[in-house]
Amino acid sequence: MKILITGGSGFIGSHIIDVLLELGHEVTIYDLEAPRFGQKCNYVAGDVNDLEKIITATKGFDAIYHLAAEANVNRFYEKPLYSNMNTSNSTLSVLECARQNNVGRVLLASTEWIYGTVKIEKRTQEEGGGHKIVPLSASFPITEETPYAQNPDHLYTSSKISAELFCRNYKSLYGVNYTIMRYGIPFGERARPETVTPIFINKILKGEEITIHGDGSQTRQFIYVKDLAKGNAACLNPKAENEIFNLNGWKKIRVIDIVTTLEEIIGKKAKVTFVEDRKGNFKGRFISSEKAEKFLGWKPQFTYRDAMEKYVKTTLK
């Protein structure tokens, strides 16, 4: 297949390209930043919001992976207009390209944040025909059928929800096919220095203080980036057309667990300070990826500990 990836020069995109090239696909990166990891693929320098340029660049493609977005939630808080342009609005640009150029499918990189942190309620039927609203615990597994957060508590969440809704709109209105991939929190080789795992590794190695917002009990479903890349490639399967898939790690990992895991692997005690939690910080819940395994035969191959050990050893070389 002939595939274009917006944001393909970045952390996740570069790993997806590795997998797609191994599978024999022809890949083109569309990104403001030039490729940095030596893949033998085509490159177009461009802004995803430059509609005229990206429409020209996407002619003749079978699929577009849309990864270009603002990934830093702190920057989203600081620069909401700019960040939304690069996340929600950019999705409209890509969908419009697909519509005008008859691209077979848009595969959108979304996030587990779209489920929010509010409590889920379930409507159950009682004896006698009545109904009762039952609150579900935070440990109740969330699936692709779980509704979006009804009161999103972060701009990042709202922007990602909008991007997903645009995909659905373009399918119903114009027949543009999509696949939505809701990521857990990726980590591994090539990660951006400002993400949590590289920050913690560097601070432990240098003996510097690690700052944790809140009490460290908030959870994330971290996923090794090489596993995530294979999940993205699996979504090219025709069975994934016009479907949504959670692509998450095996289990919930507390923020404080990142520290303790790294202490064990590196062999050095961390200095940790706890401060007030960020506004709208995602608390975390268990999100199931069983659908991806059932439909696509994909599941993570690495446990969190094994993947982290592999990543740290690569980092320390």
Give tens-digit pLDDT for 17-28: 999 999 999 999
Query: How confident is the model at residue 130, as a pLDDT?
Result: 58
pLDDT value at 277 more than 90: no
Q: Mean pLDDT lowest for which of 121-130, 172-181, 287-296?
A: 121-130
The rounded distance, in Å, linking the Cα atoms of 167 and 261 is: 38
Give 224's pLDDT tier (boundaries 50, 70, 90).
very high
Confidence check: pLDDT of 104 > 60:
yes
> Are 299 and 251 a contacting pair, CB within 8 Å?
no
- 28 three-state secondary structure: strand
Average pLDDT over residues 34-62: 96
Residue 74, pLDDT > 90, answer no
Q: Calculate mean pLDDT across residues 224-230.
A: 98
Mean per-residue pLDDT for 139-158? Answer: 88
Q: Of 64 and 132, which is predicted with more confidence?
A: 64
Residue pair 28/3 in contact (Cβ under 8 Å)? The answer is yes
Contacts of 267 (CB under 8 A, 6+ apart): none
Q: What is the pLDDT of residue 219?
A: 84
**E strand residue ranges, 78-177:** 105-111, 121-125, 131-135
Cα 289 to Cα 282: distance, rounded to the nearest angstrom: 19
What domains are defined for the chain?
2-315 (3.40.50.720)
pLDDT at 129 over 70: no
d(CA 262, CA 267): 8
Quick one: pLDDT at residue 137? 47
pLDDT value, residue 250? 84
Mean predicted lDDT score pLDDT of the chain? 91
Write out the DSSP string of 181-237: EEE-EEESTT--TTSHHHHHHHHHHHTPEEEEESSS--EE-EEEHHHHHHHHHHTTS
pLDDT confidence band for 280 (50 / 70 / 90): low
Q: Give residue 220's pLDDT band: very low, low, confident or very high (50, 70, 90).
A: confident
